[in-house]
């Protein structure tokens, strides 16, 4: 891969990632070692990390469809320790909340209330700040927030690598359908070892 990279870490928050979470994605804790590897890889190589994060109010309309989850200020809304850098900067979902830094490396936690990271009012400004890059996408849940974000990135003509051993779906069938859609849109399937340099082949 020759293009400069940006990692998109989708919703790796306690409520989704851990069995104790209120909207636990089955098996999500099993990808934590690969998430740790990816975050370390980004830090070592100076790759910027965009981390999307559900940030709901207690009366969010989405709770008519989903259990209460990722309410701002609750333990479940926090990222798991493996995917949060001490220097992370939060970008709330309100206009002009993003203030570009001098350095691209580091972690932005981009808050949202819908599936798609691009629904944050600052997303276009963040893309402009990053410049042309290939997005390396991982996180949860495959058929919801991962799919929605990849769909938007591809619609914008942005290159996407989907890290298949660092994602988890709520259902097997939902995950399968989401993978089919994302690959049909032009996303490449890769593994953590390939992204971090110990493998060179794409996923078949």
- What is the distance between the alpha carbons of residues 123 and 182, in angstroms, rounded to a whole number? 21
pLDDT of res. 202: 47
What's the pLDDT at 103?
Answer: 78
Three-class SS of 88-131: CEEECCCCCCCCCCCCCCCEEEEEECCCCHHHCCCHHHHHHHHC
Q: Where are the domains of the chain?
A: 5-195
- C-alpha–C-alpha distance, residues 74 and 54, integer Å: 12
Fold of 5-195: Rossmann fold (3.40.50)
- 87 class by beta-carbon count within 10 Å (0-12 exposed, 13-18 middle, 19+ buried): exposed
Per-residue pLDDT of the chain (204 residues; tens, 9 = 90+): 468 999 999 999 999 999 999 999 999 999 999 999 999 999 999 999 999 999 999 999 999 999 999 999 999 999 999 999 999 999 999 999 999 987 788 999 999 999 999 999 999 999 999 999 999 999 999 999 999 999 999 999 999 999 999 999 999 999 999 999 999 999 999 999 999 986 544 443
């Amino acid at each position: 891969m020759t293009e400069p990279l940006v990692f998109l870490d989708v919703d790796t928050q306690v409520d989704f990632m851990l069995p104790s979470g209120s909207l636990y994605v089955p098996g999500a804790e099993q990808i934590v070692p690969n998430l740790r590897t990816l975050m370390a890889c980004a830090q070592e190589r100076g790759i910027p990390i965009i981390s999307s994060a559900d940030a709901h109010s207690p009366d969010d309309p989405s709770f008519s469809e989903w259990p209460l989850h990722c309410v701002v200020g609750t333990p479940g809304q926090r990222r798991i320790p493996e995917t949060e850098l001490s220097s992370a900067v939060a970008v709330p979902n309100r206009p002009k909340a993003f203030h570009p830094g001098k350095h691209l490396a580091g972690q932005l936690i981009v808050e949202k209330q819908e599936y798609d990271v691009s629904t944050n009012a600052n997303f276009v400004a963040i893309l402009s700040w990053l410049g042309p890059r290939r997005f390396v996408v991982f996180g949860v849940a495959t058929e919801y927030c991962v799919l929605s974000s990849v769909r938007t990135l591809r619609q914008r003509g942005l290159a996407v690598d989907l890290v298949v051993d660092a994602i988890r779906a709520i259902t097997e069938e939902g995950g399968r359908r989401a993978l089919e859609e994302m690959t049909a849109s032009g996303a490449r399937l890769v593994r953590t070892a390939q992204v971090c340099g110990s493998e060179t082949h794409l996923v078949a």
